[in-house]
Structure 1
Amino acid sequence: MDTLDTIGDAAAAQAFRRLVRHLRHRSDAQNVDLMGLAGFCRNCLGDWVAEAAGIDKAAGRDAVYGMPYGDWKRAHQTEASPDQLRRMEQSVAKNA
């Protein structure tokens, strides 16, 4: 058994909320960089929330961003460099 499965739902939910609040605070951490390092980003997390909660993707992303994604994007997202895009593509390829 994976020890992750032994963590109670309340503790897991608390850790999840802490992660989401950390990502909200660190708006300087661009999604393309998260994708380049870890193969997932805020959008992925929002999509996973939507899937788990049975809600649409926009609502899942709103929950993660704390606002509509378009608003967050206008306020915080910068243009991705070719190097960032290359790292992201290489990292995402590992997810398969």
Structure 2
Amino acid sequence: MGSTRRRFTDEYKGHAVRLVLDSGDSIAEIARSIGVHEMTLGKWVKKARDDGEESQRPLDEDERAELERLRKEVPRLRMEAEFAKKVAAWFAKDQQ
């Protein structure tokens, strides 16, 4: 009896991994849409991440702009969170 195991080219695997990394959809959603088992696609994505393929892709203009916006926003949000902690501690102390 012959093997029913499917074989995929490296090009196909790379395309499937790019779909996961670029689309923001889950591995399960992409796997269903391309007809590959979720665990199989998950292994491909993990291997690509371990090999550093994800980090080698340069950011496009939109991604770069979002990164800069988020880097500016983080300090403000940290300050707001610290202030909220102090207010909560003050209210908790006042209630006792």
So what's the TM-score if we normalise by structure 2?
A: 0.31
Greater relative CO (CA pairs within 8 A, separation 6+) = 1
Larger Cα-atom Rg: 2
Structure (1 or 2) with the greater helix fraction: 2
So what's the TM-score if we normalise by structure 1?
A: 0.31
